[in-house]
Amino acid sequence: MVSIHKTPDVTEKLKILSKDSQYDLACACGTNEADRRHRSQDGKWIYPVSLPNGGQTILFKTLLSNHCTNNCKYCPLRVNQDAQRCTLNVEETVKTFLSYYESREVFGLFLSSGVIGTPDNTMARINAVARALRQRRFRGYMHLKVIPGASDAAITETVSLASAVSINIETAGEENFKRLCTSKKYMDDIIRPLKLISQLTAKGTVYSGVKQTTQFIVGASQETDQEIVKYSGALYKNLGLSRVYFNAYQRGLGATDLPGENSVKTSADIITREHRLYQSDWLVRKYGFKADEIPFGNDGNLSLEIDPKEMWAKQHPEFFPVNVNLADKYRLLRVPGLGEITIKQIFMRRKCGQRLRSLNDIGKIGKLLKKAEKYITF
């Protein structure tokens, strides 16, 4: 019997490539319901997402190709895997995106790709799409992926065209990385581009408005939470990244010898671990914690039962109680159950001359606010 393989049209390609783009989360995170990654019902390649600066928008998100020459053990699209492969050409990508943009169904583009031949060949295609859109007077948001191993020239061109760029750090440190991939070199292919993008987008440079993000694959290797938080803190402090994202490894997608495939952790534990890392990241980025203040267990991991802010409070009884009527923002942000919105309300009431006398004066008492009760005084 002769089998006939029909060449997929653009819509069929998008169905395949947008589905495969789910493994790259560097434009979405998971700290709360409004901030989680979603797909629209009418178009799988249309995503309401959170941006690196915290804003919300709707992006057209796809891979340019799911062909890949790399052997990353955690990735279902790695070389020699049995996957339905296809590639969008430049004009297909540009026309399709602009049709959605001009009808106001999307407001920006997130474009990534598997490695088509070589890193620079892939970057040339990604940059060609971005350049064509800019030449057609699209001035909106574009998040472009940098392919590991790309040359300095290719990366510089990407930065010149993008609103945001990212290259996935994947894991914490070279030893952990070796367990994930042997076709890429951690220092040359990952860390070098991270540093170059940081230099190109540094304050005072021509591309200072371009945001840089990255992503850890959590649980695929043998890294600890402490290692991830340490690396994340260094990325914020030394390289000025806008956001760090965490993607819980999905067991069953990778090679059988991958550490994550043989972990004793349940799938629920791995998702909770991702959530705890986002909570820790929030403490560092928003609440004034330093990376070395985040509390870890003897195994170097965050508690799955208690969030890191409450764990810190339990370990530092000398810091409490905090006087709600007198404390500054820094002290109030350390109180479990008090977030930025609640603290803003406290300061508004204090500014109006109100003296807070109980939890009822702070806001509606729910499970979260109730948690603060034993750490505050009036």
pLDDT top residue among 366 and 7? 366
Q: How far is CA 5 from CA 2, 84, 224, 319, 364, in A?
A: 10, 11, 46, 68, 61
Which pLDDT band holds residue 361 (cuts at 50, 70, 90)? confident
R_g over Cα of the chain: 23
The dihedral of CA 64, 205, 284, 72: what is its sign?
positive
Dist. CA 234–CA 262, nearest whole Å: 30
Which run of H or E residues covers position 110?
strand 108-112
Range 68-82 average pLDDT: 90
Dist. CA 139–CA 141, nearest whole Å: 7
Does position 307 have pLDDT exceeding 50, yes or no?
Answer: yes
Condensed to tens digits (0 to 9), the pLDDT of residues 3-47 reads 444 567 888 888 888 777 766 654 444 444 444 444 444 445 676
Range 113-130 average pLDDT: 97
**Region at 139 (left for phi over 0; alpha for psi -120 to 50; beta for the rest):** alpha
Q: What percent of the chain has pLDDT over 70?
A: 90
* Cβ(290)–Cβ(229) below 8 Å: no
Both tokens of residue 167? 């290259």
For every residue of 118-137, DSSP letters joined together read SHHHHHHHHHHHHHHHHHTT
Condensed to tens digits (0 to 9), the pLDDT of residues 320-331 reads 999 999 999 999
pLDDT top residue among 148 and 265? 148
Dist. CA 6–CA 94, nearest whole Å: 23
Dist. CA 282–CA 244, nearest whole Å: 10
pLDDT of residue 17: 81
Does position 126 have pLDDT exceeding 50, yes or no?
Answer: yes
Q: What percent of the chain has pLDDT over 90?
A: 71
Both tokens of residue 231? 């690396």
Which run of H or E residues covers position 109?
strand 108-112
pLDDT of residue 42: 43
pLDDT of residue 89: 95
Condensed to tens digits (0 to 9), the pLDDT of residues 258-283 reads 999 988 888 889 999 999 999 999 99
The answer, yes or no, to whether the previous bond of 52 is cis (omega within 30 of 0) is no
- Does the reported pTM lie above 0.85? yes
**Residue corresponding to tokens 């928003």:** 286
Does position 87 have pLDDT exceeding 80, yes or no?
Answer: yes
In the predicted model, what is the mean pLDDT of the chain? 89
pLDDT of residue 285: 93
Assign 49 to helix, strand or coil: strand
Does position 225 have pLDDT exceeding 90, yes or no?
Answer: yes
